[in-house]
């Protein structure tokens, strides 16, 4: 079911919000979300009425946080306070997106899981596409895992029973069993998220002098990434990532050729009583790691590829 997203922002951040809007285009296209923000108000509409109507029918309140947003009387004091009332009633999920560094943890936002990861501001990323990818992935993860209890009931003007909010979702977990179809869907989504991470990271690293990055998505089940560090005599490596294979989920192989029937390790699918994970298999330098998300696995592979060509983080 499609999640309705209300985007609350300051007009001082309009350029960043427009980038966010583009990054969730695929979520809109595949029906995961429908989003709204005040640029969609018609001239004939009463502005306050349109905003309140949209806010009161939203499933997710996406707070685009910045110093200007916190200072805004309307966005922070009215929209956010209205969202807090609905969140306490279990009617909406509040999701802060930290656009610019500010003292957001001194506000009621501190109670909610912030995006990008660890609440790092979008403007602190070398490539903002990487930050917005984490935001889009976070939203997709909520909708894919069904953590929005709001979406299971549909909407009605009549009072409905209280729904589960983001603040309460960690209090209850229902055990379930996973069949082959569940696992295949999980693998497909994980492979897609790993590729999107490499796509954003490749764009980011190309801005570094003397570094080249070539990413090719040759099929729905295979891509490769080559990183070249022209400042190093041995600064050349290619990583092949393949869906399926020896580990039943995702295989990897280093080297110039995509030799079939061999790999340097990969990820299998594991599960506890509540959800599915990726589990690292035979990737040597990491040891055995389980309970990984697709983004965890992508970061692991990306960092290993960079280390092989002499690139590290500042």
User: How far apart, in Å, are the Cα atoms of 177 and each of 144, 186, 270, 272?
Assistant: 16, 14, 12, 9
In this predicted structure, the answer to whether residue 158 has a pLDDT above a threshold of 70 is no
Q: Which structural domain, as residue segments, surrounds residue 243?
A: 180-308
Reported pTM: 0.52
Per residue in 87-142, pLDDT (tens digit) is 988 888 899 999 999 999 999 999 888 999 888 899 988 788 888 998 988 888 77
Tell me, yes or no, whether 268 and 201 share the same domain: yes
Tell me, yes or no, whether 27 and 120 share the same domain: yes
In this predicted structure, the answer to whether residue 234 has a pLDDT above a threshold of 80 is no
Tell me, yes or no, whether 226 and 297 share the same domain: yes
Tell me, yes or no, whether 163 and 184 share the same domain: no
Total domains in the fold of the chain: 2
Tell me, yes or no, whether 134 and 201 share the same domain: no
* For residues 181-205, average pLDDT: 86
| Residue 221: inside a domain | yes
Tell me, yes or no, whether 82 and 144 share the same domain: yes
Written as one string, the DSSP assignment of 238-288 is EEEEEESSTTSSEEEEESSS--TT--SEEEEEEE-SS-EEEEEES-GGG--
Tell me, yes or no, whether 211 and 102 share the same domain: no
| Residue 313: inside a domain | no
């Amino acid at each position: 079911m499609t999640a309705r997203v209300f985007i609350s922002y300051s007009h001082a951040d309009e350029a960043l919000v427009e980038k966010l809007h583009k990054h969730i285009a695929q979520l809109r296209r595949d029906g995961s979300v429908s989003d709204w923000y005040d640029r969609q108000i018609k001239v004939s509409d009463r502005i306050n009425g349109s905003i309140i109507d949209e806010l009161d029918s939203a499933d997710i309140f996406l707070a685009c946080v910045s110093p200007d947003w916190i200072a805004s009387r309307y966005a922070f004091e009215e929209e956010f306070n209205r969202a807090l009332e609905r969140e306490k009633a279990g009617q909406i999920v509040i999701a802060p997106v930290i656009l610019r560094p500010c003292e957001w943890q001194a506000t009621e936002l501190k109670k909610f899981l912030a995006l990008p990861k660890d609440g790092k501001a979008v403007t602190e990323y070398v490539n903002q596409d990487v930050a917005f990818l984490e935001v889009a992935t976070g939203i997709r993860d909520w909708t894919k895992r069904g953590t929005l209890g709001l979406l299971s009931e549909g909407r009605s003007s009549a009072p409905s029973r209280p729904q589960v909010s983001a603040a309460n979702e960690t209090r209850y977990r229902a055990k379930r069993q996973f069949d082959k179809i569940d696992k295949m869907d999980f693998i497909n989504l994980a492979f897609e998220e790993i590729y999107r991470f490499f796509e954003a990271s490749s764009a980011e690293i190309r801005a570094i002098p003397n570094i080249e990055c070539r990413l090719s998505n040759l099929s729905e089940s295979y891509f490769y990434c080559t990183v070249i560090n022209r400042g190093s005599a041995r600064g050349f490596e290619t990583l092949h990532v393949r869906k399926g294979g020896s580990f039943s989920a995702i295989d990897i192989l280093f080297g110039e050729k995509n030799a079939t029937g061999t790999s340097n390790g990969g990820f299998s699918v594991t599960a506890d009583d509540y959800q599915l994970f990726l589990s690292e298999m035979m990737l040597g330098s990491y040891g055995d790691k389980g309970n990984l998300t697709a983004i965890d696995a992508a970061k692991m592979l990306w960092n290993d590829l960079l280390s092989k060509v002499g690139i590290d983080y500042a």
